[in-house]
Structure 1
Amino acid sequence: MTNDNDDLSRRRLLATTGTLSLTGLAGCLGSGGGGGSDHGDKQLSDQRDRSLPDGAETCVSTQGIERDLEGLSAKEDVGYQFHPNYTGASGFIELCANCQFFCPGNQFDAGVGACAAVEGGIYSQDWCALWQPVEGLEERDGSGARGSQTKIGK
């Protein structure tokens, strides 16, 4: 008889522990906990809605290319993406920060830059199909270079 009570106690312990574990896991995964995907989705949508900083309408890129308001492309038309291109033919991590068309945000006292070829606000870590390396990028060996200039597979 004592043996049956021990089995019953073990079953209760295991059932209670399992229920508490699942409840805790559900709480961690919920959107109210701050760790859910709602926050990440909102952050992405905030980036997509970023407007062009004041003073960037007629910016000049780091390579001296002037922004032509009449010749700008829409982000949708150039395959604009909100992350770097790790598989480009250049062998480098391709992103706006090391593109010849990029106008850095620090020129405008903003966290977002502009592009001499693409409409709207541009983040340094983004990429589009118009990407062209800044002059001299191919000659750099990556030793001591920032991540945006590092050769892939080195």
Structure 2
Amino acid sequence: MWSRRNYLVATVGVAALSGCTGDTGNGTTEPEGEEEEEEGEGEEERPEGVSAEEFESGPVPDVYMSATSLGNEQRNPDELSSKSDVGFSEYEEALENDAHQPGTCCANCADYIVDKNGDTFGACVEVEGYIDGADWCVIYEALPEPEVPEGMSEAELATAEVPEEYRTASSQAGEERNPDELQSQEAVSLMESVDAIADGPAQPGQSCGNCAEFIPDENGDMWGACAKVEGYIAVEDWCTIWEHVSEEA
């Protein structure tokens, strides 16, 4: 029987590698389409009007100053660490760090504050500056897994009717949930985001916590819901119809 916690996506096919080459005119060949690296390529893209110093150290926009994280922790702007002090890096760089666990990134960290103004960046309750969901640092804290509601089995979570406050609620991007037009969790390959990122279906920085369709916890049981998918949804989950919250902002 399918389980929301152990579901594995079957991946079919391997990306084809291009073998096209072009004649250089001197008897050797080189890959076609190779272009010179554009000036400035490799620099991290920043929100418009934000300097490199502000991006690194803040201040962040007012909406984040004392905001609450995915793990329900409140940010105190007077008690933050610098990025350099916590080994802050982008996901690809984090893969080289012995302390990094596959699939872990800011988007599934308890300290992360998701994008609230449509610029695609968020913030952190422990670290200063702008934070992308695909970033990582050594003080990463896993989100606690919600307990199965009383009177319900774990197997029932995937198809159970959600509490009344979620049934026609709006997602964090403003999309209203219609109980009669929902997909099953199996159909969208719902799984925990750490596993989805580590195993390949998801890109670093993707989780239900920063998805446009997610409806955050509204009754204190640590479960949420989705405007497109049935059943109970945890903030650390992910599925194939993930859409960044800023895309609907």
Bucket of the pairwise TM-score, normalised by the shorter protein: 0.5 to 0.7
Q: Does the 8 A contact of 1:92 with 1:152 survive in 2?
A: yes
* Amino acid corresponding to residue 66 of structure 2 in structure 1: T
Aligned partners of 1:68, 1:120: CA distance in 2, in Å? 13
* Superposition RMSD in Å: 3.9
Aligned partners of 1:91, 1:28: CA distance in 2, in Å? 34
Instruction: Give the SS at the match of 2:78.
Output: helix
Match of 2:110 among 91, 100, 105: 100
Aligned partners of 1:147, 1:39: CA distance in 2, in Å? 32
Number of equivalent positions = 128
| Alpha-carbon shift at residue 114 of structure 1 (Å) | 0.5
Report the equivalent of 1:145: 191
Q: Does the 8 A contact of 1:112 with 1:124 survive in 2?
A: yes
1:28 aligns with 2:34: yes
Aligned partners of 1:64, 1:148: CA distance in 2, in Å? 19
| Alpha-carbon shift at residue 70 of structure 1 (Å) | 1.9
Q: Calculate percent identity across the aligned residue pairs.
A: 22
Q: TM-score, normalised by structure 2?
A: 0.41
What stretches of structure 1 of length at least 5 have no aligned partner? 1-16, 31-35, 138-142
Determine which structure has the larger helix proportion and give its number. 1
Structure 2 vs 1, CA of residues 110 and 120 (structure 1 numbering), >3 Å: closer, same or farther?
A: same
| 1:22-61 matches, cutoff 5 A | 28-30=34-36, 36=37, 38-42=39-43, 44=44, 46=46, 49=52, 50=55, 51=58, 52-61=60-69
* Amino acid corresponding to residue 108 of structure 2 in structure 1: N
The structure with more radius of gyration: 1
Structure 2 vs 1, CA of residues 89 and 18 (structure 1 numbering), >3 Å: closer, same or farther?
A: closer
Q: Does the 8 A contact of 2:122 with 2:133 survive in 1?
A: yes
Q: TM-score, normalised by structure 1?
A: 0.62
Q: Does the 8 A contact of 1:104 with 1:114 survive in 2?
A: yes
Report the equivalent of 2:73: 65
Instruction: Give the SS at the match of 1:59.
Output: coil
Determine which structure has the larger strand proportion and give its number. 2
1:126 aligns with 2:135: yes
1:75 aligns with 2:75: no
| Alpha-carbon shift at residue 89 of structure 1 (Å) | 6.7
